[in-house]
Amino acid sequence: MVSLQVFFAVFSWVVVCQTAPVQFINSDAVNWLKTFGYLKKGNSTVELKEYQNALKRLQSVYEIPVTGEVDLQTEIVMLSPRCGNPDEEVTSMLSNGREKDQSKIKKRYVKSSSKWNKNDISYKISQYSSQLPVETQRNIIRLAFMTWEEVTPLTFYESTNQDADTEIGFYIGDHNDGSPFTKGIIAHAFLPDNKAFSGDVHVNEANRIVTDPNGNGYYLLSVMIHEIGHTLGLEHSLDKGAMMYHAYGTRTTLSADDIAGIQALYLQKSNSPSSYDVIYNKNDIIYLVKGERVFRQHVSGGSSEEFHLSQLLPNNLERIDAATVIGENVIFITGDQLWKFEDGLFLAHSYPTSLSSINIPGGQVDTMFAIPSESSLYFFRGNSYYRLGGGELVVDSPRLISEKFGSSVAGSDAAFAHNSDIIFVKGTLCYSYDTVTGSTNGPHDFSIDMDFTKCGSIQLLVSPLLIATSVVLRFVFS
Ligand SMILES: [Zn+2]
Ligand SMILES: [Zn+2]
């Protein structure tokens, strides 16, 4: 209890004139309450009532007797090491719910209003701790990210770029972010809110950091998992067993409350790939191919079914590099071979044929798609495209992709027609090329709900143009 005595000794007491009995506002307690979100930071004077209410909220959050005074248990709370992020949102949740009817509050996590609008998040360790080997720190930080990666669609990768999404650093005292470290603060982190320190994690290097949960110091893995939770958009939880509980602990597994919180922000982890080799659209059923895995789903998302490539390809093709649909026929490219399956099943007469036989030199292409309204087939390779119209290569091929479709769609993994748009897919992003206006829009991230209709420029209920011209295209390869 030496530290408690020191704490009492440094307290400066301010007498507030009230009718008897005389009560006190403790300025160190006021600072603590301001630091952790129980009192507004800007207010220079604090009313006694306001102060007592702040103490009551703190006592309620920490589940100690609600006295509205700085009693011994409250002193202990104020001396306990903890995360530097405030409990602001937790206390407002408490006043909205738990105080009224505790039984109605099932979720105890608090998600902020900010989150990353993408699934691939980069991190950079800007300043290492001097207390542990660099490799040890890198491994622990990677493990901490993996803990969140396991339950979300998010992936994290270490980067050395200046503009990494999350910067991690170990600092002492005032480190120029407006939130100087004091001894009891273990670390703090910033929500992903596009401000200066968005998504960053700072650890207090003045404290002893250890790699053993039973060691004499703060267990870095536990600290990092908690702080990363903030960088993803979670605030403190009221659940004592949660990683996101404000007080320090050595836990390293996410509680059900943590998982519910993060999945409310980012949905559940799907085992879907983060990029696809080929995507094609047959009557608004989308086929997504990644290596030998094929996923089939509606264009607007929802549940998908997975099967093996061999179940899709009638002739035992081992892989496909590009595919498109013309009417009821599906065309695949593997290497420099082009295969046409009538009604999606029967290999058409005189197929396979080589790309060179239709005057596309040099073998393999990246992407193929049809624009029914033009009766054209397009083949992308690098920054150029070849166009086939009426069964013949158009004389001006190849041309630059940027000239017709805009530079953003060059290098697309896949492309397919939907309504009057061509949807281009690059990783988890999609762009739409409006074949009516000739404009390109995007990008949108489709990976959150796999809804490709959000990629489109307009939503058409029926597309008579598509149906009529698909008949014309049926004869392109006949
Ligand atoms: Zn925290
Ligand atoms: Zn900081």
State how far Cα 346 lies from the chain centre: 42
What is the layout of strands, in order, in the sheet containing 440-445? 414-418, 421-426, 429-434, 440-445
Q: Tell me the pLDDT of the chain averaged across its residues.
A: 83
Q: Is 279 annotated as a binding residue?
A: yes
Q: Is 444 annotated as a binding residue?
A: no
Overall average pLDDT of the 12-29 stretch: 59
Q: HEC string of 386-414?
A: EEEECCEECCCCCEEHHHHHCHHHCCCCE
- 292 pLDDT tier (thresholds 50, 70, 90): confident
Structure tokens given for 250: 């050595």
Distance 373 CA to ligand 2 centre (A): 57
pLDDT at 475: 35
Instruction: Name the least confident of 94-103, 205-214, 335-344.
Output: 94-103
CB 169 within 8 A of CB 203: yes
Contacts of 141 (CB under 8 A, 6+ apart): 123, 125, 158, 168, 224
Q: Give CA–CA dist 242/23, Å, rounded.
A: 36
Which residues are annotated as catalytic? 227
Q: Give CA–CA dist 12/417, Å, rounded.
A: 72
pLDDT at 113: 76
CB 91 within 8 A of CB 38: yes
Q: Which residues lie at CB < 5 A from ion ligand 2?
A: 177, 202
- 324 pLDDT tier (thresholds 50, 70, 90): very high
Q: Give CA–CA dist 81/72, Å, rounded.
A: 16
Whole-Å CA distances, 92 to 29, 64, 95, 189, 466: 20, 18, 5, 20, 54
pLDDT in tens, 149-170: 988 889 899 998 888 999 999 9
Identify the residue with better confidence: 13 or 276: 276
- 101 pLDDT tier (thresholds 50, 70, 90): very low
Among the bound ligands, the one closest to the CA of 203: 2
Distance 226 CA to ligand 2 centre (A): 15
pLDDT at 74: 94
Among the bound ligands, the one closest to the CA of 227: 1
Find the largest Cα–Cα distance for the chain.
103
Q: Is 418 annotated as a binding residue?
A: no
Distance 416 CA to ligand 1 centre (A): 45
Distance 338 CA to ligand 2 centre (A): 58
Q: Give CA–CA dist 293/270, Å, rounded.
A: 14
Structure tokens given for 151: 């339950």
Structure tokens given for 122: 């980069």
Contacts of 57 (CB under 8 A, 6+ apart): 38, 91, 94, 95
Q: Cα–Cα–Cα angle for 157, 224, 262, nearest 5°?
A: 75
Identify the residue with better confidence: 469 or 219: 219
Among the bound ligands, the one closest to the CA of 85: 1
Q: Scan for tokens 């001097």, then name that residue.
A: 130
Among the bound ligands, the one closest to the CA of 170: 2
Distance 237 CA to ligand 1 centre (A): 9
Whether residue 338 is predicted with pLDDT greater than 50 in this model: the reply is yes
pLDDT in tens, 231-240: 999 999 988 8
Q: Is 17 annotated as a binding residue?
A: no
Among the bound ligands, the one closest to the CA of 172: 2
- The backbone region for 405, taken as left when phi is positive above 0, alpha when psi lies in -120 to 50, beta otherwise, is alpha
- 11 pLDDT tier (thresholds 50, 70, 90): very low
Q: Is 200 annotated as a binding residue?
A: yes
- 391 pLDDT tier (thresholds 50, 70, 90): low
Q: Is 120 annotated as a binding residue?
A: no
Q: Is 449 annotated as a binding residue?
A: no
DSSP strand E in 130-268: where?
A: 155-158, 166-171, 187-189, 201-204, 209-210, 218-219
Residue 23's SS3 state is strand
pLDDT at 13: 42
Strand partners, 13: 26
Query: 161-165, 168-172, 282-286, 378-382: which has the highest mean pLDDT?
Result: 168-172
Distance 425 CA to ligand 1 centre (A): 37
- 59 pLDDT tier (thresholds 50, 70, 90): very high
pLDDT at 351: 86
Overall average pLDDT of the 308-316 stretch: 77
Q: Which residues lie at CB < 5 A from ion ligand 1?
A: 83, 85
Structure tokens given for 75: 């002193």
Whether residue 14 is predicted with pLDDT greater than 50 in this model: the reply is no
- 477 pLDDT tier (thresholds 50, 70, 90): very low
Distance 178 CA to ligand 2 centre (A): 7
> In 10 A of CB 223, how many CB atoms?
24
CB 39 within 8 A of CB 33: yes
- 96 pLDDT tier (thresholds 50, 70, 90): low
- 417 pLDDT tier (thresholds 50, 70, 90): very high
Q: Is 349 annotated as a binding residue?
A: no
- 214 pLDDT tier (thresholds 50, 70, 90): confident
Q: Give CA–CA dist 9/14, Å, rounded.
A: 14
Structure tokens given for 358: 């239709």
pLDDT in tens, 437-472: 999 998 887 876 788 988 887 544 444 344 344 333
Overall average pLDDT of the 382-402 stretch: 81
Distance 88 CA to ligand 1 centre (A): 11
Identify the residue with better confidence: 269 or 110: 110
